[in-house]
Structure 1
Amino acid sequence: MRAHQRKNKRKHYWTYVEKDGGRDEIRDDLVETIRSHYDRLERIAEDVKRLGYEVASEILNAAMPQTTKGRSGDLGEILATELVEEEVGLRVPVRRLRYKDGRNMAMRGDDFIGAGYDGKGEKLWLLKGEAKSNKVLGKTTVTSARKVLNRDSGRCTPDSLLFVANRLLESDDLDDNDLGRSLRDEVGLKSLHADRIDHMLFTVSGNGPHASLKDDLDAAEANRDHYVVNIHVEDHQDFIATMYIEAENLGDD
């Protein structure tokens, strides 16, 4: 990807476009990343060892969406999650697509939540995210996403935060438990100020960054870090279909 990142105080405007040959370079890694958001890679490997590639593929397929809309929405969340962890430096500690009620159903609540601590490792820091994946991105979608980010006074919705907290508290990792307790406390205390709850509006689209994205960022209040992101994939729908076909096929080697 070719990246163009602009920053104005606490407002970040990031746009990405594929570079020549870039898709082939990241294809295998992206396919594996997609799989990892639906199940643990070690669990998939265990299925292959016990049952063979064909049956293991069937098990994986049962968790992955089969509709165009479902795949598009899920891939938006997957790419957003990876970007937050690579570029923002917060964890998205729960891969929530593993917990869907039905593989073709969209999950309710915040699309993704980033969490961590400040530079001193003391104060909790959150990121509330909304992901949109569209063949054609327009103002209506951007306005709708911003409305979702602003609800609950800009805080992560309590049910979404509690879901992440409880998954972390179920972990065998003590650091996960500590973060889970911090998140669970925040559900009740609501002690975080706006300047420690960042917002990200993440988009993937076939038409590139619509002018409404920059307008939306310019209009946002400067009381928190705002990230507005667009990944331009010209063959948006074909790209998604191909990636899911490859992710579902575990191969035979």
Structure 2
Amino acid sequence: MGIKDWCKTKSSKVGSHDLTVLELEAGKFEEAGDAVAKAVPSHYASQDRVAGILKRLGKKAAARFIKEKLPESKKIRSGDLGEILGSSYVNEATSYDTGINKLRWKDHREMAMRGDDLIAFQPVDGPDKIRFLKGEVKSAKTMTAAILGKARTALKKSYSRPSPHALQFIADRLHDEGDDELADLIDDAVLLDRMKLSQVSHMIFAFSGNDASALLSANVEAYTGQVAQSVVGLRIKEHQEFIASVFGKVVISADGK
């Protein structure tokens, strides 16, 4: 996706915690939309799955398959795109990796994905063997302190750790895909109660039309727990228009137009 290719980036510290502000560069609305739209389908279905339908049933059926995975409501599109942008940022700009594209397993295209918004992993040397990133994503035309407060509350659940249910879901998918090494590390941490709080970091990723940097700064400054924190704000002034444009581009591409 290359988020930093079409965004200005400003990083700073809030106490011991990290604040990153990303803002769409002037004149790069279409470039950003094209890049994001190209990445979106793989978050809802694997390339092998789409290729199989294309080979067996043809282009029209493959296009229908992709389009019927996409949400139609503005609220769900906003939330899904926030999660896609957030997971892409984690994979591109941090030492963590999300392992899977979890939107592929949504119960219904018009429902939000249950569980922690973002979970990512970093295998490490030493006795801990693995570190975990637990993240919450918020997407809104106008980000507010109340919205970010809900993200902070969610991060505190499960004793500030990723939920065991969400971790086991990911481990199951990783085993299905043959990534047994990472899946085993997750299983060990969950099933043998080996996850220490020192192995966990938190992230809030806010995708909005307004500048949320001051709100994010205040949110993380008020945190008094033991977990390392990072807060990331992605600002695209035309928030609603950007979401509509991205999903519109995905549909056009699926139809081969």
Q: TM-score, normalised by structure 2?
A: 0.90
Query: Could you say if the C-alpha distance between residues 210 and 8 of structure 1 is closer, same or farther in structure 2, counting changes exceeding 3 Å?
Result: closer
User: Which range moves more in the overlay, 124-133 or 177-186?
Assistant: 177-186
| Amino acid aligned to 2:150 | S
Shift of 1:49: 4.4
| Structure 1 residue 160 corresponds to structure 2 residue 163 | no
Distance in structure 2 (CA, Å) of the matches to 1:227 and 1:205: 17
Deviations 1:41-93 (A, max 9, x none): 34324434444443322111111111001100000110110111111121101
| Structure 1 residue 60 corresponds to structure 2 residue 63 | no
Structure 1: which 5+ residue stretches go unaligned?
Answer: none
Query: Could you say if the C-alpha distance between residues 121 and 233 of structure 1 is closer, same or farther in structure 2, counting changes exceeding 3 Å?
Result: farther
**What does 1:18-37 align with in structure 2 at a 5 Å threshold?**
18-37=24-43
**What does 1:94-173 align with in structure 2 at a 5 Å threshold?**
94-118=100-124, 123-172=129-178
Distance in structure 2 (CA, Å) of the matches to 1:140 and 1:79: 21
Question: How many percent of aligned residue pairs carry the same amino acid?
Answer: 32
Matched with 2:4 is none
Matched with 1:229 is 232
| Structure 1 residue 40 corresponds to structure 2 residue 43 | no
- Contact 1:166 / 1:184 at 8 angstroms: preserved in 2? no
* Aligned residue pairs, count: 250
The DSSP-based 3-state class of the residue aligned with 2:60 is helix
Distance in structure 2 (CA, Å) of the matches to 1:204 and 1:156: 22
The DSSP-based 3-state class of the residue aligned with 2:143 is coil
Structure 2: which 5+ residue stretches go unaligned?
Answer: 1-6
Shift of 1:208: 1.8
Deviations 1:101-123 (A, max 9, x none): 10010121101100121256962
- Contact 2:33 / 2:245 at 8 angstroms: preserved in 1? no
Q: CA RMSD in A?
A: 1.9
Distance in structure 2 (CA, Å) of the matches to 1:45 and 1:32: 16
